[in-house]
A and B are shown apart, each in its own frame.
Chain A
């Protein structure tokens, strides 16, 4: 288990704005995903836990052992914290073979254990064939496995993964996800995974910590965050391209429907528990849930197309007034010559934002 409550301030410098990290979280065995934009403090959190960065205040517990406590001036060396850390660039020792990398990592272990641990890890991570190779002779996926094996060889109390999927292609990514899920089952330790890939959060995360400018602005199971973003900032990070300020006109819990008014139009939506008739409510619609048409209809609103952005999985259509729709290439090809655009917001696409 990890318990961390830390803060750290960086004063503004001529070449950089100031930054402050102020976070508190608890991570149980399983995968905890640290999600947020670059520079939100995710890697700094890992570095603080591993002992590379010293927070100004707070304390960090790993398995009931205090590894950092500002008030009591406790600050254990990285060597004494027992964290497995997989770096962005894998950080394999370039002058050692795969086997030597693992053996070197096993040296702090009791003498009798070492050989067995190395053999076990080579087997577990399918490295036996690669034992004699140097890191520069390995593919990205192989480096990844070697790096994971090395990090786990000393039976660490936590595993810290800094953007492990970065630079891997789609098939290697899928392989990595399978591997991490297997590790979660086998090792039963907290795994902290830093990413700014939303899909990774949902593919791997048991718990999601959403970072924004050095704060954790929402935490909990990923699906819950998606159903109920805590703020419009969270909604934005989770890919809710569209945020509406709406008024509830009618509620029907029996048929799980409601009617709302947003942007001077009426829409059908699902029932919003805990909200009263006439209440104002912030609603988010994920850009992938928006459908586009060339004619008006139910739950549709006209919009003015301002920009078309090609994306790996489809096309992003940006409309005036901050509306965004992600559509498939096929859908776009069918409609690219539309004179007018109407956005359909399906009833179940509206998600309430906030408490």
Chain B
């Protein structure tokens, strides 16, 4: 019996996309939290952190309610793309993104805030715009934490199970990611598939986390 590699490719694709989206979204939220003063700022931070601590099923339920075919958002999506969002691999991307964003926001916000304030002030007196200041000073000086958080976010996306199962379902060849496929294989007594996928996923994740740790603890170059 041969192993179907589709779940692994799907997982990698979903994780890559989710990481890309959460990188941009996470940096933006972290930048706003680190630099702007507004009411309810810590509330935003708390809400962003929720996916880290809520049971995945709770998160999945929220997503189903807010993105399902009967919800306003779901209806808008369906009228634009002509098909429902739930139970597609795109829904899995959303589920993974939701788990990855808090990791990026938490680390990046702390990193941005720890950049020496006088460097940012110096750049401002030199006439450097806020946009350039971010990309040329703040981000490069926080890059270690940001890269480490991004790698962790990728690993986290790769392993998402509960939320993905609830909103993307378990459709072999379409929405079945590795984590879901392993569950499926074990349930149906297909131990070879389960073992291979578990092994591949474990090696991949260990490799990624090891890399992230090395990045974070390497002697600073500056």
B32 within 8 A of A: no
Name the distance in Å between A39's Cβ and chain B's nearest Cβ: 19
A107 within 8 A of B: yes
Q: Bound state CA distance, A84 and B119, in angstroms?
A: 13
A332 within 8 A of B: no
Q: Mark B105-123, 1 if CB is under 8 A from A, else 0.
A: 0000000000010110111
Given A104-B136, A134-B222: A91 touches B128 (CB 8 Å cut-off): no
Residue among B116, B122, B124, B140 with max Cβ neighbours from chain A (10 Å): B122
- CB of A85 within 8 A of CB of B222, answer no
Q: Mark B124-141, 1 if CB is under 8 A from A, else 0.
A: 111111001000110011
Set B121, B125, B140: member contacting A84, Cβ < 8 A: B125
Q: Bound state CA distance, A137 and B121, in angstroms?
A: 22
- CB of B128 within 8 A of CB of A87, answer no
Q: Mark A82-93, 1 if CB is under 8 A from B, else 0.
A: 111101110101
Q: How large is the interface on A (under 10, 10 to 19, 20 to 34, 35 or more residues)?
A: 20 to 34
Q: Bound state CA distance, A105 and B127, in angstroms?
A: 8
Q: Looking across the interface, which residue of chain A has its beta carbon closest to that of B136?
A: A104
Given A52-B121, A77-B124: A91 touches B136 (CB 8 Å cut-off): no
A12 within 8 A of B: no
Q: Which residues of A contact B127 (CB under 8 A)?
A: 79-80, 82, 108, 154
Set A83, A88, A108, A156: member contacting B128, Cβ < 8 A: A108
Set A78, A105, A134: member contacting B121, Cβ < 8 A: A78
Residue among A52, A84, A134 with max Cβ neighbours from chain B (10 Å): A52
A191 within 8 A of B: no
Q: Looking across the interface, which residue of chain A has its beta carbon closest to that of B125?
A: A85
Name the distance in Å between B128's Cβ and chain A's nearest Cβ: 7
A255 within 8 A of B: no
Q: Which residues of B contact A81 (CB under 8 A)?
A: 125
Q: Bound state CA distance, A91 and B133, in angstroms?
A: 14
Q: Which residues of B contact A165 (CB under 8 A)?
A: none
Name the distance in Å between B102's Cβ and chain A's nearest Cβ: 27
- CB of B121 within 8 A of CB of A93, answer no
Name the distance in Å between A251's Cβ and chain B's nearest Cβ: 54
Given A94-B141, A104-B136: A154 touches B126 (CB 8 Å cut-off): yes
Set A88, A95, A134, A151: member contacting B125, Cβ < 8 A: A151
- CB of A50 within 8 A of CB of B125, answer yes
Q: Which residues of B contact A115 (CB under 8 A)?
A: none
- CB of A93 within 8 A of CB of B126, answer no
Q: Which residues of B contact A153 (CB under 8 A)?
A: 126
Q: Which residues of B contact A105 (CB under 8 A)?
A: 126, 128
- CB of B222 within 8 A of CB of A87, answer no
A181 within 8 A of B: no
Given A93-B119, A136-B222: A79 touches B124 (CB 8 Å cut-off): yes
Q: Bound state CA distance, A50 and B127, in angstroms?
A: 11
Q: Bound state CA distance, A154 and B127, in angstroms?
A: 8
- CB of B128 within 8 A of CB of A79, answer yes
- CB of B118 within 8 A of CB of A89, answer yes
A117 within 8 A of B: no
- CB of B124 within 8 A of CB of A94, answer no
Name the distance in Å between A283's Cβ and chain B's nearest Cβ: 44
Q: Bound state CA distance, A301 and B127, in angstroms?
A: 60
Given A154-B126, A154-B127: A91 touches B141 (CB 8 Å cut-off): no
- CB of B128 within 8 A of CB of A107, answer yes
Name the distance in Å between A345's Cβ and chain B's nearest Cβ: 46
- CB of A150 within 8 A of CB of B126, answer yes
- CB of B137 within 8 A of CB of A93, answer yes
The B-contacting residues of A in range 185-208, CB under 8 angstroms, are none
- CB of B126 within 8 A of CB of A95, answer no
- CB of A108 within 8 A of CB of B121, answer no
Q: Bound state CA distance, A94 and B220, in angstroms?
A: 11
Q: Bound state CA distance, A94 and B138, in angstroms?
A: 11
Q: Looking across the interface, which residue of chain A has its beta carbon closest to that of B222?
A: A94
Residue among B126, B128, B137 with max Cβ neighbours from chain A (10 Å): B126
Name the distance in Å between B83's Cβ and chain A's nearest Cβ: 47
- CB of B128 within 8 A of CB of A104, answer yes
- CB of B137 within 8 A of CB of A91, answer no
Can you list 9 pairs linking A and B with CB atoms under 8 Å apart?
A50-B125, A79-B129, A91-B118, A95-B140, A95-B221, A104-B123, A104-B136, A134-B222, A136-B222
Excluding A79-B129, A94-B119, 14 further A-B contacts by CB distance (< 8 Å) are A50-B121, A52-B121, A78-B121, A82-B127, A87-B118, A88-B118, A89-B116, A94-B141, A95-B141, A107-B132, A134-B222, A150-B122, A151-B125, A153-B126
> Which B residues have a C-beta under 8 Å from some C-beta of A?
116, 118-119, 121-129, 132, 136-137, 140-141, 221-222
7 closest A-B pairs by beta carbon, nearest first, are A108-B127, A78-B124, A91-B122, A91-B118, A94-B222, A85-B125, A105-B126
